[in-house]
Amino acid sequence: MARKSSSPGDESVTSGFSRRSFLKAAGVGAAATTMVGVGTGGQSAQVLGPDAVTFNLKVNGAVRAVTVEPRVTLLDALRNHLDLTGAKPACERGGCGACTVLLDGAPVSSCLMLAADAEGHEITTVEGIGTPEKMSPLQAAFVEKDALQCGFCTPGFVVAGTALLAKVPSPTLDQIKAGLAGNLCRCGTYGRVFEAVQAAAAKGKGG
């Protein structure tokens, strides 16, 4: 639907709803209930909430029960209920990649996903990729190449890089840049991050 051209302060739209009234309505709906598992035809829609519900999440190979309100994100469930703090809350709007985890092997922003929607999927966090005692080849390459400064973004880069190498074992530099394009490092350590991915790829182990 076309929007009227508007000044920054003019929130009217042709439908008769203003952006503010839409957000208010959406906020009320989110507080009351959460709909999860909606298929393309809506056939598997399930309405949960507003009270906490218990469901299972398969994280790093283990099935773990969580009891959370349906509005809770996967990121918060992992950090606050399962004590997995590797995924980091930074922008919390899908813009930085600090909260990246793997869902069935594909990188996702866990700040944008409801925990309840992750039920039935294989979730892998950076803790499941390796440990300080037994690092994955990519984690070891991050250490070897000194690919971090503050390190806050590092788990997200490791998770995204692991997904990239699983899909493209010998990526070009451009493929590495594209594979990590959803991750931001405020310190600007990109060069060393790219070197770490190249080093892990060269070892042919791919994380």
Q: Is 148 in the site for ligand FES (CB under 6 A)?
A: yes
- Indicate the residue among 80 and 149 with the shorter CB distance to ligand FES: 149
Taking residues 47 to 86 in sequence order and writing x for each that binds ligand FES by CB under 6 A, - otherwise, the string is: ----------------------------------------
Residue (of 67, 76, 69, 75) closest to 32 by Cα position: 69
> Which of 118-142 are b and which e, b meaning 16 or more Cβ less than 10 Å from the residue's Cβ?
beebebbbbbbbbeeeebbbbbbbb
Q: Which helix (H) or strand (E) holds 140?
A: helix 137-144
Q: Is the peptide bond before 50 cis (omega within 30 degrees of 0)?
A: yes
- Indicate the residue among 55 and 152 with the shorter CB distance to ligand FES: 152
Q: Is 140 in the site for ligand FES (CB under 6 A)?
A: no
Query: What's the token pair of residue 104?
Result: 């069935």
- Indicate the residue among 106 and 150 with the shorter CB distance to ligand FES: 150
Q: Is 91 in the site for ligand FES (CB under 6 A)?
A: yes
Residue 5 CB contacts under 8 Å (≥ 6 apart), including other chains: none
**Distance of alpha carbon 30 from alpha carbon 48, whole angstroms:** 11
In the bound complex, what is the minimum distance in angstroms from residue 151's beta carbon to ligand FES? Answer: 5
Q: Is 89 in the site for ligand FES (CB under 6 A)?
A: yes
DSSP 115: G
Helix 154-167 / helix 137-144 crossing angle, nearest 10 deg: 130
Interacting span for ligand FES (CB under 6 A) from 14-22, 114-122, 166-174, 179-187: 179-187
Q: Is 152 in the site for ligand FES (CB under 6 A)?
A: yes
Q: Is 151 in the site for ligand FES (CB under 6 A)?
A: yes
- Indicate the residue among 136 and 154 with the shorter CB distance to ligand FES: 154
Task: Give the footprint of ligand FES on this chain (CB under 6 A).
Answer: 89-92, 94-99, 109, 111, 148-154, 185-187, 189
